[in-house]
């Protein structure tokens, strides 16, 4: 999956998990539409998405197939880089003219549902315009919130540890399914002592990784209303971060920041970092070494707390053409030829039709598919934890404050207090 398009590793993490800094939006409830119609029965719908130029080319090719199958539906394309996408989307939605259909992510569902932006697609499923059959590994329910279908998955990914294979081999470290956080700490120490690298690039600001760690403890980053952990929990997590940076187990944050837009792994500062599995292509394209995927450490050797995440397609509540929008979404997630065109640009295909149609021939994508299949086979996948309104603001704050901790501009206590202060503000909006 190529999603680099000028954003750094933190931007990539936000893309996969679906978060961005606070974006104000006041949605009106009056009915108006983003699409247009004509006297000859033809309609135009607007489709907006973010991503790389390569993604734009693939989607444009897919749209041509759709318009060939549905000659009375024209799709107007609206492509933006990630930060620009949300700025434009908010402007359009605030003015009552959002795109008819758009790329979305889990962190935004409750936020925009609360602002009356999203269309519940269940009626279109009942009408036969959209099929929710043949989705892999429970993804069919990924976009459901409070009984409403607000998003349809287009692909899947899961958290993994991307490693520089030769460095791990030199250190004599071989991660295996079921290894523990203590095993990871031991591995990071071996890497530090036997190679010229830190063991990790800095895992402690990644919200989705901390969520997994909490889930292993029977907690979670979010509940439906707010945070699912305490200040004491976060103090423990960030105290370990502080010690790991000072001991050299984790790369110097200043050097990591200086290396951007390269990752610390491809900049040869660290031997690995936690990220989404389908970003492995990014490392191969950017670096000189051989990179691979290692499993998530566990607390008890069994429970990983993992789930499959996904980008989604959502529809505007204000669209004048819900049937045509539903037909477009259905085509984009089920059509086998679209699966071949898109490859793993947005993750491993969500539906069996596309998953079976595209069989990757390159080693990197083969490893991504094999990694996700190993999670299915191991039976470790669970439902994703809820993301309340304000989740995107919380993730942005979590990442930023953890970096400030690493740079030494905040103590652990100051960082924890600042995060909880900002989280409380986010949930009041």
**Tens digit of pLDDT for each residue in 195-243?**
989 999 999 999 999 999 999 999 999 998 899 999 999 999 999 999 9
pLDDT > 50? residue 341: yes
pLDDT > 80? residue 25: no
CA–CA gap between residue 181 and residue 33 (Å, rounded): 51
Beta-carbon count within 10 A of 128 CB: 11
Reported residue count of the chain is: 429
Query: What domains are there in the chain, each with its CATH number?
Result: 9-155+312-358 (3.40.190.10), 159-306+386-428 (3.40.190.10)
- Residue pLDDT, tens place only, 101-138: 999 998 889 989 989 999 999 999 999 999 999 999 88
CA–CA gap between residue 173 and residue 318 (Å, rounded): 54
Strand partners for 163:
272, 292
> What 3-state DSSP class applies to 303?
coil
> What 3-state DSSP class applies to 351?
strand
- Residue pLDDT, tens place only, 313-340: 999 999 999 999 999 999 999 999 999 9
Beta-carbon count within 10 A of 189 CB: 16
- Supply the pLDDT for residue 225: 86
- C-alpha neighbours within 13 Å on the C-beta side of residue 3: 30
- Residue pLDDT, tens place only, 165-187: 999 999 999 999 999 999 999 99
Q: Identify the DSSP state of 31.
A: -
Q: What is the dihedral of CA 180, 185, 189, 194, to 10 degrees?
A: 30
> What 3-state DSSP class applies to 105?
strand
What pTM, to 2 d.p., does this model score?
A: 0.82
- Supply the pLDDT for residue 4: 36
Question: Which phi and psi (to 5°) does residue 265 adopt?
Answer: -75, -50
pLDDT > 70? residue 39: no
Beta-carbon count within 10 A of 421 CB: 11
């Amino acid at each position: 999956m190529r999603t680099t398009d000028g954003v750094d590793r933190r931007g990539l993490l936000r893309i996969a998990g679906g978060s961005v800094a606070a974006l104000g939006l006041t949605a009106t409830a009056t009915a108006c539409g983003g699409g247009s119609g004509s006297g000859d029965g033809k309609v135009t719908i607007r489709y907006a998405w973010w991503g790389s130029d390569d993604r734009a080319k693939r989607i444009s090719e897919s749209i041509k197939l759709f318009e060939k199958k549905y000659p009375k539906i024209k799709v107007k394309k609206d492509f933006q880089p990630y930060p620009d996408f949300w700025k434009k989307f908010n402007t359009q939605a605030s003015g009552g003219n959002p795109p008819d259909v758009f790329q979305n992510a889990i962190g935004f569902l409750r936020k925009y549902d609360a602002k009356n932006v999203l269309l519940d697609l269940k009626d279109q499923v009942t009408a036969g315009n959209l099929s929710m059959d043949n989705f892999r590994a429970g993804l069919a329910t990924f976009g459901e919130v409070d009984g409403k279908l607000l998003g349809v998955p287009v692909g899947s990914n899961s958290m993994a540890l991307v490693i520089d294979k030769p460095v791990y081999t030199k250190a004599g470290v071989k991660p295996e399914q079921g290894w523990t956080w203590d095993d990871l700490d031991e591995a990071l120490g071996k890497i530090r002592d036997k190679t010229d690298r830190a063991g990790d690039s800095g895992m402690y600001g990644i919200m989705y990784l901390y969520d997994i760690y909490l889930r292993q403890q029977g907690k979670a980053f979010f509940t439906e209303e707010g945070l699912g952990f305490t200040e004491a929990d976060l103090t423990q997590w960030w105290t370990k971060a502080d010690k790991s940076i000072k001991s050299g187990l984790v790369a110097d944050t200043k050097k990591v920041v200086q290396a951007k837009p390269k990752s610390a792994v491809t900049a040869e500062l660290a031997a690995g970092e936690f990220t989404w599995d389908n970003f492995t292509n990014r490392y191969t394209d950017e670096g000189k070494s051989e990179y691979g995927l290692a499993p998530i450490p566990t607390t008890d050797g069994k429970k990983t707390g993992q789930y499959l995440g996904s980008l989604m397609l959502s529809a505007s509540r204000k669209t004048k053409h819900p049937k045509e929008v539903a037909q477009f979404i259905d085509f984009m997630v089920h059509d086998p030829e679209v699966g071949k065109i898109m490859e793993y640009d947005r993750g491993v295909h969500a539906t069996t039709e596309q998953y079976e149609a595209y069989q990757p021939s390159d080693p990197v994508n083969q490893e991504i598919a094999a990694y996700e299949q190993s999670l299915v086979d191991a039976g470790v996948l669970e439902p994703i934890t809820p993301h309340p309104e304000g989740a995107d603001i919380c993730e942005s704050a979590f990442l930023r404050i953890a970096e400030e901790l690493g740079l030494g501009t905040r103590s652990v206590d100051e960082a924890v207090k600042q995060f909880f202060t900002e989280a409380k503000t986010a949930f009041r909006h």
